[in-house]
Amino acid sequence: MSALKLPETGRIAGIVTTSELVTAGLSDRQIRCLVRLGDLHLVARGVYADGAKARDMLELRGGRQLLELAATVAAVGPRAIVSHESAAYLHTIDLLAWPDGAASLTYPPLRTGRPRAGVRLHAATVPPEQITSVVGLRVTTPGRTVVDLARTLEFRAGVVAADSALHKRLVTKPELQAVLGTCSQWRGARRAAEVIAFADVRAESPLESIARVAFSGCGLPPPELQVWLGGTIEPIGRVDFYEVVHFTWDQISNSPERVAASVRAAFRRGVRNATRPGRPDSLPLPASARS
């Protein structure tokens, strides 16, 4: 590092804004010199990081995204809270689709000023119990993050996030319901309640989540997830549905009716197999397959 004293901000990678550097006594010329020397790393307009720490972070998977997110928070101001898709990223909550790179932040409703490029700013109040800290950033808790996403995204995207957070044991359904109770009059609250009711802790992937939504929309019975198959001594494998039907992400996303037709055909095959002559037992079948 340079002999010049840089301000201690407590932020990840020593992130500091231009105004903080100027307040600490550095001139614009000194700042540019530190950047040329590699002592400072320009992360975004008006935001820098400790050069050595920034270079280490950029070597890490996801390091650039984390560095840019932390820089955005510093630029917006100390009351900014990482939320929505950006909070999901920090909590490792799965999303149906990742946004275009803009940081999602929540800020008190009375904030004034011009919007900042690369920031998706949500005006809302977040009580202290719904805020946590991740890598030194103020972030909405997993419960608040899921409720925010369920309110603002389409139903199946909300289910993907809720299923993921539940399966990873980041939150429970009662906790989600409690968070929703604090914003029950907000836009999208009814959809969020439907997402929470539909969410299933057993769903292990976004594919399972959107398949459950598609099946429900097509009138199929809810599938049983993570069912172990095997003999009387020990299981030999596990499947997500009793009747196994292969389908891809593209098929369930874009042609759910065709997938549902394949499932119904599998049910009919199951009925025929279960009732064929000479079969010593009978397979349990969904009611829809017997109708």
Q: Per-residue pLDDT tens for 128-141?
A: 999 999 999 999 99
- Say what the pTM is: 0.79
Q: What tokens were used for 64?
A: 């650039």
Q: Using one digit for the tens of pLDDT, what is the confidence trace for 140-195?
A: 999 999 999 999 999 999 999 999 999 999 999 999 999 999 999 999 999 999 99
8 Å CB contact between 187 and 119: no
Which pLDDT belongs to residue 253? 80
Which pLDDT belongs to residue 215? 85
For residues 100-114, average pLDDT: 79
- Residue 134 phi, psi (nearest 5): -130, 125
> To 10 degrees, the CA torsion angle through 44, 50, 53, 58?
20
8 Å CB contact between 127 and 178: no
For residues 228-255, average pLDDT: 66
| Cα distance between residue 147 and residue 162, in whole Å | 8
